[in-house]
């Protein structure tokens, strides 16, 4: 899978597998960090749940499906409502390298669900996703990209601030 970011909007992206778009996400309003995304027959939204933006709710076809929680020491965590599982994104590799990988880990057994690879080649971002499981969960893919984008924007704020 390959992730193509929209050049106009920092939060919009598409996930492509082969020649087909399997997941498409875009910002709901330009001044908010809320997202709407579609895959298969599902229309989903990630809506900020509190003023500080440390918690976002995930709705699938209008029903609460899970939540994304940010904690300053743990980073972003995905909690699914239906099976009470939670996941977090862990950075792998050296901070000074231009290529990084991020693993989505299950909090219970630290099992790797997927790996997001980020490379910067000639000032062009190349983002790919390696999924080991034959059953792909696009909500976990979305969370990984959402958390990765937040990490990138936070790092940019630190550098420019």
**Mean pLDDT score across all residues of the chain:** 81
Q: Which residue range forms the structural domain that includes residue 35?
A: 2-160
Q: Round to whole Å and give the CA distance between 10 and 35.
A: 11
As a whole number, mean pLDDT of residues 109-135 equals 84
The structural domain count of the chain equals 1
Give me the phi and psi of 139, to 5 degrees please.
-70, -35
Lowest mean pLDDT of 15-24, 25-34, 40-49, 51-60, name the range.
25-34
5-9, 59-63, 79-83, 88-92: which has the minimum mean pLDDT?
Answer: 5-9
């Amino acid at each position: 899978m390959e992730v193509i970011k929209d050049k106009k909007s920092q939060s919009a992206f598409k996930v492509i597998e082969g020649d087909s778009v399997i997941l498409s996400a875009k910002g709901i309003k330009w001044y908010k960090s809320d997202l709407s995304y579609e895959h298969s027959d599902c229309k989903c939204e990630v809506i900020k749940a509190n003023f500080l933006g440390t918690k976002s709710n995930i709705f699938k076809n209008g029903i609460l499906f899970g939540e994304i929680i940010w904690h300053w020491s743990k980073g972003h965590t995905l909690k699914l409502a239906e099976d009470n599982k939670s996941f977090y994104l862990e950075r792998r590799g050296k901070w000074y390298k231009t290529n990084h990988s991020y693993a989505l880990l299950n909090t219970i057994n630290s099992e790797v669900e997927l790996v997001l690879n980020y490379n910067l080649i000639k000032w062009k971002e190349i983002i790919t996703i390696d999924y080991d499981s034959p059953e792909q969960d696009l909500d976990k893919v979305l969370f990984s990209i959402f958390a990765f984008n937040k990490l990138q924007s936070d790092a940019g704020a630190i550098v420019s601030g």
